[in-house]
Amino acid sequence: MLPPPGCTPYDCRMDSYQHIAVAIEDSPGSQRALDEASRIAALTGARLSVLHVTSISMPPPYMGEGGVFIPDPEVMQSAALEWLTEAVAGVPGAEPVVLQGHPPDAVCLWAEEHGVDLVVAGAERGKIERLLLGSFALHLSRHATCDVLLARIPKG
């Protein structure tokens, strides 16, 4: 399929984005993803949702004599929303959204349910982290029902 006259395939595809979601945490890769998502939203006039996912890891069956501390999910959600609101304060039009659950699944599901055209995420984990934690970026690329852009930190 050829693009309309005067339009490159990249430009035409960018114009089709109406709703962009960017998944962030407190990391340099996430800041890069937020910067890129914000730039694309400004160029296209797209709505920008900034997602952060909280999750509670289940403790091992036995934690010793002191018992087990499991944080209150409501307190975690409230703290996450406060952090996220501060993180997007300088981003024009950014809508903070706090999700709960397994981060890659939560982002994919929310994006599908809310008509997201493009999900942006940072791609920065090293080999050990990917082995132990899995790859958030890989999961997005395989399971998101929309386009996915992975923003990398420039080497240098």
Q: pLDDT per residue over 17-47, tens digit each?
A: 999 999 999 888 899 999 999 999 999 999 9
Residue 85 counted as domain residue: yes
Residue 114 counted as domain residue: yes
Residue 84 counted as domain residue: yes
Residue 83 counted as domain residue: yes
Residues 74-107 pLDDT 10s: 888 899 999 999 999 999 999 999 999 999 999 9
Alpha helices in 23-135 (DSSP H): 28-44, 73-87, 103-113, 127-133
Nearest Cα residue to 124 out of 54, 33, 21, 60? 33
Residue 66 counted as domain residue: no
User: Higher-confidence residue: 115 or 154?
Assistant: 115
Q: Which amino acid, residue 102?
A: H
Domain count, the chain: 1
Residue 50 counted as domain residue: yes
What residues make up the domain containing 80? Answer: 17-54+71-151
- Residue 142's alpha-carbon distances to 62, 70, 71, 72, in angstroms, are 35, 32, 31, 32
